[in-house]
Structure 1
Amino acid sequence: MHIEVLVEDSSGEKLLAQLLPQILGGQGEPHTWRLKAYKGIGRIPQGLTAKADPAKRILLDQLPRLLQGYGKTSGIDAVFVVLDTDRRDCKAFLHELQSVANQCNPAPNTMFRLAIEEMEAWYLGDRVALLKAFPRAKREVLDRYLQDSVCGTWELLADAVHAGGAAAIKKAGWPLPGQLKHEWAEKIGPFMNLHQNASPSFGKFREGLTRLIAQA
Protein backbone atom coordinates (compact mmCIF):
# COMPACT_ATOMS: atom_id res chain seq x y z
CA MET A 1 0.00 0.00 0.00
CA HIS A 2 1.16 3.53 -0.80
CA ILE A 3 -0.07 6.32 1.48
CA GLU A 4 0.21 10.07 0.93
CA VAL A 5 0.48 11.74 4.36
CA LEU A 6 -0.34 15.46 4.53
CA VAL A 7 0.40 17.64 7.57
CA GLU A 8 -0.09 21.35 8.06
CA ASP A 9 3.46 22.40 9.01
CA SER A 10 7.08 21.34 9.04
CA SER A 11 7.29 20.71 12.80
CA GLY A 12 4.43 18.23 12.44
CA GLU A 13 6.32 16.67 9.54
CA LYS A 14 9.39 16.28 11.74
CA LEU A 15 7.40 14.42 14.38
CA LEU A 16 5.52 12.20 11.93
CA ALA A 17 8.75 11.29 10.16
CA GLN A 18 9.81 9.65 13.43
CA LEU A 19 6.47 8.00 14.20
CA LEU A 20 5.38 6.66 10.81
CA PRO A 21 8.09 3.97 10.49
CA GLN A 22 7.07 2.62 13.91
CA ILE A 23 3.54 2.06 12.60
CA LEU A 24 4.08 1.36 8.90
CA GLY A 25 7.49 -0.32 9.01
CA GLY A 26 10.42 0.67 6.85
CA GLN A 27 9.80 2.08 3.40
CA GLY A 28 8.74 -0.76 1.12
CA GLU A 29 8.48 -3.32 3.93
CA PRO A 30 5.86 -3.70 2.50
CA HIS A 31 4.17 -0.27 2.62
CA THR A 32 5.40 2.99 1.13
CA TRP A 33 4.45 6.54 2.00
CA ARG A 34 5.27 10.14 1.18
CA LEU A 35 5.06 12.80 3.88
CA LYS A 36 4.22 16.31 2.68
CA ALA A 37 4.27 19.39 4.93
CA TYR A 38 2.40 22.60 4.18
CA LYS A 39 2.91 26.13 5.48
CA GLY A 40 -0.23 26.51 7.53
CA ILE A 41 -3.73 25.16 7.86
CA GLY A 42 -5.84 27.83 6.12
CA ARG A 43 -9.52 27.13 5.50
CA ILE A 44 -11.62 25.06 3.13
CA PRO A 45 -12.69 27.35 0.24
CA GLN A 46 -16.35 28.07 -0.34
CA GLY A 47 -17.75 26.00 -3.16
CA LEU A 48 -14.75 23.66 -2.76
CA THR A 49 -12.94 25.59 -5.49
CA ALA A 50 -9.34 26.37 -4.62
CA LYS A 51 -8.59 29.97 -5.56
CA ALA A 52 -5.44 30.42 -3.49
CA ASP A 53 -1.97 30.28 -5.00
CA PRO A 54 -0.75 26.65 -4.84
CA ALA A 55 2.80 27.94 -4.40
CA LYS A 56 1.87 29.28 -0.96
CA ARG A 57 1.22 25.68 0.20
CA ILE A 58 -1.65 26.31 2.63
CA LEU A 59 -3.22 22.92 3.28
CA LEU A 60 -6.97 23.45 3.58
CA ASP A 61 -6.94 26.12 0.87
CA GLN A 62 -5.65 23.45 -1.50
CA LEU A 63 -7.43 20.40 -0.08
CA PRO A 64 -10.23 20.10 -2.70
CA ARG A 65 -7.69 20.32 -5.53
CA LEU A 66 -5.32 17.89 -3.83
CA LEU A 67 -7.96 15.24 -3.16
CA GLN A 68 -9.38 15.55 -6.67
CA GLY A 69 -5.90 14.93 -8.03
CA TYR A 70 -5.23 11.99 -5.74
CA GLY A 71 -8.55 10.42 -6.73
CA LYS A 72 -7.43 10.39 -10.35
CA THR A 73 -3.86 9.24 -9.71
CA SER A 74 -3.01 5.55 -9.98
CA GLY A 75 -0.65 4.03 -7.43
CA ILE A 76 -2.00 6.04 -4.48
CA ASP A 77 -3.95 3.71 -2.23
CA ALA A 78 -4.81 6.15 0.56
CA VAL A 79 -4.48 9.76 1.69
CA PHE A 80 -3.95 10.40 5.41
CA VAL A 81 -4.39 14.01 6.55
CA VAL A 82 -3.23 15.19 10.00
CA LEU A 83 -4.47 18.56 11.28
CA ASP A 84 -4.75 20.58 14.47
CA THR A 85 -8.28 21.40 15.52
CA ASP A 86 -7.16 24.67 17.13
CA ARG A 87 -10.46 26.00 18.53
CA ARG A 88 -12.76 24.31 16.03
CA ASP A 89 -15.52 21.92 17.05
CA CYS A 90 -13.99 18.50 16.42
CA LYS A 91 -17.09 16.71 15.06
CA ALA A 92 -18.13 19.59 12.82
CA PHE A 93 -14.60 19.94 11.46
CA LEU A 94 -14.34 16.24 10.67
CA HIS A 95 -17.71 16.36 8.91
CA GLU A 96 -16.57 19.32 6.83
CA LEU A 97 -13.34 17.59 5.90
CA GLN A 98 -15.05 14.34 4.96
CA SER A 99 -17.50 16.26 2.78
CA VAL A 100 -14.59 17.53 0.71
CA ALA A 101 -13.36 13.98 0.11
CA ASN A 102 -16.84 12.66 -0.63
CA GLN A 103 -17.44 15.25 -3.34
CA CYS A 104 -14.43 14.11 -5.33
CA ASN A 105 -15.13 11.92 -8.34
CA PRO A 106 -13.50 9.51 -8.11
CA ALA A 107 -13.03 9.91 -4.36
CA PRO A 108 -9.65 8.84 -2.96
CA ASN A 109 -9.49 6.58 0.10
CA THR A 110 -9.04 9.41 2.61
CA MET A 111 -8.68 9.40 6.38
CA PHE A 112 -8.50 12.53 8.55
CA ARG A 113 -6.97 12.62 12.00
CA LEU A 114 -7.02 15.60 14.36
CA ALA A 115 -4.69 16.68 17.14
CA ILE A 116 -6.72 18.40 19.86
CA GLU A 117 -6.09 21.35 20.23
CA GLU A 118 -2.59 21.17 18.77
CA MET A 119 0.00 18.48 18.13
CA GLU A 120 1.73 19.53 21.34
CA ALA A 121 -1.08 17.60 23.07
CA TRP A 122 0.63 14.43 21.86
CA TYR A 123 3.88 15.39 23.61
CA LEU A 124 1.97 16.18 26.78
CA GLY A 125 0.27 12.80 26.47
CA ASP A 126 3.60 11.03 26.88
CA ARG A 127 4.94 12.43 30.15
CA VAL A 128 7.79 9.89 30.22
CA ALA A 129 9.07 10.97 26.80
CA LEU A 130 8.68 14.64 27.62
CA LEU A 131 10.67 14.35 30.85
CA LYS A 132 13.40 12.33 29.18
CA ALA A 133 13.77 15.15 26.64
CA PHE A 134 13.33 17.92 29.23
CA PRO A 135 14.22 16.53 32.67
CA ARG A 136 13.97 20.00 34.22
CA ALA A 137 10.42 20.60 32.96
CA LYS A 138 8.13 22.19 35.53
CA ARG A 139 6.00 19.37 36.88
CA GLU A 140 3.51 21.77 38.46
CA VAL A 141 2.75 23.21 35.01
CA LEU A 142 2.38 19.76 33.47
CA ASP A 143 0.06 18.76 36.29
CA ARG A 144 -2.31 21.58 35.34
CA TYR A 145 -2.92 20.13 31.90
CA LEU A 146 -6.18 18.34 31.19
CA GLN A 147 -5.40 15.98 28.32
CA ASP A 148 -6.68 17.08 24.89
CA SER A 149 -8.32 20.18 26.33
CA VAL A 150 -8.58 23.49 24.50
CA CYS A 151 -6.37 25.53 26.77
CA GLY A 152 -3.56 27.04 24.73
CA THR A 153 -1.67 23.76 24.43
CA TRP A 154 1.62 24.92 22.96
CA GLU A 155 1.75 27.78 25.45
CA LEU A 156 1.33 25.38 28.36
CA LEU A 157 4.12 23.16 27.05
CA ALA A 158 6.28 26.26 26.61
CA ASP A 159 5.59 27.32 30.19
CA ALA A 160 6.79 23.90 31.31
CA VAL A 161 9.99 23.57 29.29
CA HIS A 162 11.18 27.01 28.11
CA ALA A 163 12.86 29.67 30.22
CA GLY A 164 10.39 32.51 30.58
CA GLY A 165 7.59 30.37 29.16
CA ALA A 166 5.17 31.34 26.44
CA ALA A 167 5.31 35.02 27.38
CA ALA A 168 9.02 35.18 26.56
CA ILE A 169 8.49 33.36 23.28
CA LYS A 170 5.69 35.68 22.20
CA LYS A 171 7.75 38.72 23.17
CA ALA A 172 10.66 37.50 21.04
CA GLY A 173 8.29 36.90 18.12
CA TRP A 174 8.80 34.98 14.92
CA PRO A 175 10.73 32.80 14.09
CA LEU A 176 11.26 31.60 17.68
CA PRO A 177 7.86 29.84 18.07
CA GLY A 178 8.45 27.80 14.92
CA GLN A 179 12.02 27.00 15.91
CA LEU A 180 10.92 25.73 19.30
CA LYS A 181 8.19 23.55 17.83
CA HIS A 182 10.84 21.93 15.65
CA GLU A 183 13.04 21.49 18.72
CA TRP A 184 10.23 19.78 20.63
CA ALA A 185 9.65 17.38 17.75
CA GLU A 186 13.36 16.58 17.55
CA LYS A 187 13.85 16.11 21.28
CA ILE A 188 10.60 14.48 22.42
CA GLY A 189 9.72 12.47 19.31
CA PRO A 190 12.49 9.85 19.63
CA PHE A 191 11.33 8.90 23.13
CA MET A 192 7.61 8.64 22.40
CA ASN A 193 5.92 5.30 23.04
CA LEU A 194 3.15 4.64 20.52
CA HIS A 195 1.14 2.55 22.94
CA GLN A 196 1.54 4.56 26.12
CA ASN A 197 0.13 7.96 25.30
CA ALA A 198 -2.65 9.55 27.34
CA SER A 199 -3.90 11.62 24.39
CA PRO A 200 -7.13 10.20 22.89
CA SER A 201 -6.42 12.02 19.64
CA PHE A 202 -2.98 10.39 19.46
CA GLY A 203 -4.64 7.01 19.94
CA LYS A 204 -7.00 7.73 17.05
CA PHE A 205 -4.05 8.76 14.88
CA ARG A 206 -2.22 5.49 15.62
CA GLU A 207 -5.30 3.31 15.23
CA GLY A 208 -6.32 5.05 12.02
CA LEU A 209 -3.02 4.29 10.34
CA THR A 210 -3.11 0.73 11.62
CA ARG A 211 -6.59 0.30 10.18
CA LEU A 212 -5.52 1.73 6.84
CA ILE A 213 -2.70 -0.75 6.33
CA ALA A 214 -4.96 -3.60 7.45
CA GLN A 215 -6.93 -2.94 4.24
CA ALA A 216 -3.92 -3.80 2.11
Structure 2
Amino acid sequence: MPTSHIALLVEEPSMEAFLQSLLPRILPATTTFEIHAFQGKSDLLAKLEARLRGYSQWLPEDWRLFVLVDCDDEDCRSLKRSLDGMASRAGLRVQGQAGRDPSWQVVNRIAIEELEAWYFGDWDAVRAEFPRVSPNVPQRQGFRDPDAILGGTWEAFERVLQNHGYFKEGLPKIDTARRLGRRILIDECRSSSFKAFRRALLEALQAP
Protein backbone atom coordinates (compact mmCIF):
# COMPACT_ATOMS: atom_id res chain seq x y z
CA MET A 1 0.00 0.00 0.00
CA PRO A 2 1.57 3.34 -1.02
CA THR A 3 2.41 5.67 1.85
CA SER A 4 -0.06 8.55 1.95
CA HIS A 5 1.28 10.36 5.01
CA ILE A 6 4.50 10.58 7.02
CA ALA A 7 4.59 11.86 10.60
CA LEU A 8 8.01 12.84 11.91
CA LEU A 9 8.89 13.26 15.58
CA VAL A 10 12.03 15.38 16.02
CA GLU A 11 13.83 16.72 19.05
CA GLU A 12 14.00 20.42 18.30
CA PRO A 13 12.95 23.23 15.94
CA SER A 14 16.05 23.31 13.74
CA MET A 15 15.44 19.76 12.50
CA GLU A 16 11.80 20.70 11.98
CA ALA A 17 12.85 23.71 9.87
CA PHE A 18 15.30 21.60 7.87
CA LEU A 19 12.69 18.96 7.05
CA GLN A 20 10.01 21.54 6.26
CA SER A 21 12.32 22.76 3.48
CA LEU A 22 13.71 19.39 2.40
CA LEU A 23 10.66 17.11 2.24
CA PRO A 24 8.52 19.05 -0.26
CA ARG A 25 11.38 18.63 -2.73
CA ILE A 26 11.36 14.84 -2.26
CA LEU A 27 7.86 13.63 -1.52
CA PRO A 28 5.34 13.05 -4.30
CA ALA A 29 2.22 15.18 -4.35
CA THR A 30 0.23 12.18 -3.13
CA THR A 31 2.21 11.96 0.14
CA THR A 32 1.62 14.52 2.87
CA PHE A 33 3.71 15.04 6.00
CA GLU A 34 3.63 16.63 9.42
CA ILE A 35 6.45 17.34 11.86
CA HIS A 36 6.20 17.39 15.66
CA ALA A 37 9.13 19.11 17.37
CA PHE A 38 9.87 18.50 21.05
CA GLN A 39 11.75 20.69 23.51
CA GLY A 40 15.04 18.89 23.13
CA LYS A 41 16.22 15.30 23.10
CA SER A 42 15.43 14.57 26.74
CA ASP A 43 11.87 15.81 26.25
CA LEU A 44 11.37 13.60 23.20
CA LEU A 45 12.80 10.51 24.88
CA ALA A 46 10.72 11.05 28.00
CA LYS A 47 7.47 11.33 26.04
CA LEU A 48 8.17 9.07 23.08
CA GLU A 49 6.81 5.73 24.25
CA ALA A 50 3.52 7.25 25.41
CA ARG A 51 3.19 9.13 22.11
CA LEU A 52 3.83 5.92 20.16
CA ARG A 53 1.26 4.04 22.23
CA GLY A 54 -1.24 6.66 21.22
CA TYR A 55 -0.38 6.25 17.55
CA SER A 56 -0.67 2.47 17.80
CA GLN A 57 -4.38 2.78 18.65
CA TRP A 58 -5.35 4.40 15.38
CA LEU A 59 -2.46 4.60 12.90
CA PRO A 60 -3.73 3.98 9.34
CA GLU A 61 -1.97 1.26 7.35
CA ASP A 62 -0.73 3.77 4.78
CA TRP A 63 0.98 6.04 7.34
CA ARG A 64 4.62 5.85 8.43
CA LEU A 65 6.24 7.30 11.55
CA PHE A 66 9.82 8.61 11.62
CA VAL A 67 11.62 9.36 14.88
CA LEU A 68 14.75 11.49 14.44
CA VAL A 69 17.18 12.27 17.26
CA ASP A 70 20.77 13.44 17.53
CA CYS A 71 23.33 10.96 18.74
CA ASP A 72 25.31 13.61 20.65
CA ASP A 73 27.84 11.70 22.79
CA GLU A 74 25.79 8.51 23.18
CA ASP A 75 26.55 5.13 21.68
CA CYS A 76 24.42 5.20 18.53
CA ARG A 77 23.71 1.46 18.53
CA SER A 78 22.54 1.53 22.12
CA LEU A 79 20.36 4.57 21.42
CA LYS A 80 18.86 2.85 18.36
CA ARG A 81 18.05 -0.28 20.39
CA SER A 82 16.39 1.87 23.03
CA LEU A 83 14.25 3.65 20.45
CA ASP A 84 13.29 0.41 18.73
CA GLY A 85 12.37 -1.08 22.10
CA MET A 86 10.02 1.79 22.87
CA ALA A 87 8.28 1.34 19.53
CA SER A 88 7.93 -2.41 19.97
CA ARG A 89 6.51 -2.04 23.48
CA ALA A 90 4.04 0.47 22.09
CA GLY A 91 2.75 -2.21 19.75
CA LEU A 92 4.13 -0.83 16.49
CA ARG A 93 5.95 -2.74 13.76
CA VAL A 94 9.52 -1.44 13.62
CA GLN A 95 11.43 -1.16 10.36
CA GLY A 96 14.24 -3.69 10.20
CA GLN A 97 12.96 -5.96 12.95
CA ALA A 98 11.06 -8.27 10.61
CA GLY A 99 13.50 -8.64 7.75
CA ARG A 100 12.39 -6.69 4.71
CA ASP A 101 8.70 -6.64 5.62
CA PRO A 102 7.42 -3.51 3.84
CA SER A 103 4.49 -3.12 6.24
CA TRP A 104 6.55 -1.51 9.01
CA GLN A 105 4.97 1.43 10.83
CA VAL A 106 7.84 3.23 12.53
CA VAL A 107 11.51 3.81 11.81
CA ASN A 108 14.08 5.33 14.16
CA ARG A 109 16.94 7.31 12.67
CA ILE A 110 19.86 9.08 14.34
CA ALA A 111 21.81 12.13 13.13
CA ILE A 112 25.43 11.44 14.02
CA GLU A 113 26.32 13.39 15.86
CA GLU A 114 23.98 16.27 15.10
CA LEU A 115 21.99 17.75 12.22
CA GLU A 116 25.01 19.82 11.19
CA ALA A 117 26.82 16.61 10.14
CA TRP A 118 24.32 16.45 7.28
CA TYR A 119 25.42 19.93 6.19
CA PHE A 120 29.05 18.84 6.10
CA GLY A 121 27.92 15.89 3.98
CA ASP A 122 26.85 18.14 1.09
CA TRP A 123 29.39 20.95 1.11
CA ASP A 124 28.35 22.09 -2.36
CA ALA A 125 24.95 22.91 -0.88
CA VAL A 126 26.60 24.89 1.92
CA ARG A 127 28.72 26.80 -0.60
CA ALA A 128 25.67 27.55 -2.73
CA GLU A 129 24.09 29.24 0.30
CA PHE A 130 27.29 30.67 1.82
CA PRO A 131 29.63 31.24 -1.16
CA ARG A 132 32.58 32.62 0.82
CA VAL A 133 33.31 29.30 2.54
CA SER A 134 36.25 27.31 1.23
CA PRO A 135 35.54 24.41 -1.14
CA ASN A 136 38.36 22.47 0.51
CA VAL A 137 36.74 21.97 3.93
CA PRO A 138 35.68 18.34 3.24
CA GLN A 139 39.29 17.45 2.37
CA ARG A 140 40.73 18.81 5.61
CA GLN A 141 41.77 16.48 8.39
CA GLY A 142 38.91 16.08 10.83
CA PHE A 143 36.23 16.91 8.27
CA ARG A 144 36.55 14.06 5.78
CA ASP A 145 33.88 11.95 7.48
CA PRO A 146 30.85 14.14 8.31
CA ASP A 147 29.74 11.70 11.01
CA ALA A 148 33.11 11.60 12.76
CA ILE A 149 33.76 15.30 13.37
CA LEU A 150 35.00 15.71 16.92
CA GLY A 151 33.97 18.34 19.43
CA GLY A 152 30.41 18.86 18.23
CA THR A 153 29.30 19.32 14.63
CA TRP A 154 27.21 22.38 15.52
CA GLU A 155 30.24 24.11 17.00
CA ALA A 156 32.43 23.02 14.09
CA PHE A 157 29.96 24.27 11.50
CA GLU A 158 29.56 27.60 13.27
CA ARG A 159 33.33 27.97 13.54
CA VAL A 160 33.88 27.31 9.81
CA LEU A 161 31.24 29.84 8.80
CA GLN A 162 32.57 32.45 11.22
CA ASN A 163 36.09 31.94 9.88
CA HIS A 164 34.73 32.93 6.47
CA GLY A 165 32.94 36.04 7.67
CA TYR A 166 29.46 34.74 8.50
CA PHE A 167 27.48 34.99 11.74
CA LYS A 168 30.03 36.68 13.99
CA GLU A 169 27.27 37.01 16.59
CA GLY A 170 26.47 33.29 16.48
CA LEU A 171 24.92 30.82 14.08
CA PRO A 172 21.12 31.18 13.72
CA LYS A 173 20.36 27.46 13.81
CA ILE A 174 16.73 27.52 12.69
CA ASP A 175 17.19 29.92 9.78
CA THR A 176 20.32 28.06 8.64
CA ALA A 177 18.46 24.75 8.78
CA ARG A 178 15.65 26.18 6.69
CA ARG A 179 18.06 27.57 4.11
CA LEU A 180 20.11 24.39 3.77
CA GLY A 181 17.01 22.22 3.66
CA ARG A 182 16.27 23.96 0.37
CA ARG A 183 19.75 23.18 -0.95
CA ILE A 184 20.89 19.70 0.11
CA LEU A 185 20.58 17.01 -2.54
CA ILE A 186 19.57 13.68 -1.05
CA ASP A 187 21.63 11.73 -3.58
CA GLU A 188 24.77 13.77 -2.95
CA CYS A 189 25.03 13.98 0.85
CA ARG A 190 27.98 11.90 2.11
CA SER A 191 26.81 11.60 5.71
CA SER A 192 26.14 7.95 6.53
CA SER A 193 23.41 8.88 8.97
CA PHE A 194 21.72 11.02 6.31
CA LYS A 195 21.96 8.11 3.87
CA ALA A 196 20.23 5.87 6.44
CA PHE A 197 17.41 8.43 6.73
CA ARG A 198 17.20 8.65 2.93
CA ARG A 199 16.98 4.87 2.54
CA ALA A 200 14.14 4.63 5.03
CA LEU A 201 12.30 7.50 3.38
CA LEU A 202 12.59 5.95 -0.07
CA GLU A 203 11.56 2.56 1.30
CA ALA A 204 8.45 4.11 2.80
CA LEU A 205 7.56 5.73 -0.52
CA GLN A 206 8.15 2.53 -2.47
CA ALA A 207 6.14 0.29 -0.15
CA PRO A 208 3.64 -1.84 -2.12
TM-score tier (shorter): 0.7 to 0.9
Match of 1:31 in 2: 31
The count of aligned residue pairs is 188
Instruction: Determine if contact 1:19/1:189 at 8 Å carries over to the other structure.
Output: yes
From 45, 48, 51, the counterpart of 1:63: 48
Give aligned-pair identity as a percent. Answer: 32
TM-score (structure 2 length as normaliser): 0.82
| 1:210 and 2:197 aligned | no
Match of 1:123 in 2: 119
Q: Deviations over 1:91-110 (max 9, x none)?
A: 11111110111111365711
From 131, 135, 145, the counterpart of 1:135: 131
Q: Deviations over 1:157-202 (max 9, x none)?
A: 111102699xx76xxxxxx56xx11132133222211111111111
Q: How does 1:17-28 map to 2 (within 5 A)?
A: 17-25=20-28
Q: What SS does structure 1 have at the residue aligned with 2:148? A: coil
Q: How does 1:38-53 map to 2 (within 5 A)?
A: 38-42=38-42
Match of 1:161 in 2: 161
| 1:185 and 2:177 aligned | yes
Match of 1:46 in 2: none
TM-score (structure 1 length as normaliser): 0.79
Q: How big is the shift at 1:213? A: 2.0
Match of 1:97 in 2: 83
Instruction: Determine if contact 1:9/1:37 at 8 Å carries over to the other structure.
Output: yes
Distance in 1, Cα, partners of 2:92 & 2:67: 18
Distance in 1, Cα, partners of 2:5 & 2:108: 16
Q: How big is the shift at 1:21? A: 1.9
Q: How big is the shift at 1:150? A: 4.7
| 1:147 and 2:146 aligned | yes
Relative to structure 1, the CA distance from residue 98 to residue 134 in structure 2 (aligned partners, 3 Å threshold; closer, same or farther) is: same
Q: Which runs of 5+ in 2 are unaligned?
A: 95-104
Q: Deviations over 1:111-154 (max 9, x none)?
A: 01111000000011001010111112255655241320151111
Instruction: Determine if contact 1:2/1:75 at 8 Å carries over to the other structure.
Output: no
Match of 2:71 in 1: 85
**Structure with more helix by fraction:** 1
Instruction: Determine if contact 2:125/2:183 at 8 Å carries over to the other structure.
Output: yes
Distance in 1, Cα, partners of 2:206 & 2:196: 15
Q: Which runs of 5+ in 1 are unaligned?
A: 43-57, 170-175
| 1:113 and 2:112 aligned | no
Instruction: Determine if contact 1:115/1:201 at 8 Å carries over to the other structure.
Output: yes
Q: How big is the shift at 1:37? A: 1.1
Distance in 2, Cα, partners of 1:86 & 1:94: 13
Q: CA RMSD in A?
A: 2.2
Q: Which aligned segments of 4 or more residues in structure 1 are displaced greater than 4 angstroms?
A: 138-142
Match of 2:99 in 1: none
Distance in 2, Cα, partners of 1:124 & 1:110: 27
Q: What SS does structure 2 have at the residue aligned with 1:24? A: coil
Q: Deviations over 1:27-60 (max 9, x none)?
A: xx32222111111000xxxxxxxxxxxxxxx211
Distance in 2, Cα, partners of 1:189 & 1:32: 17
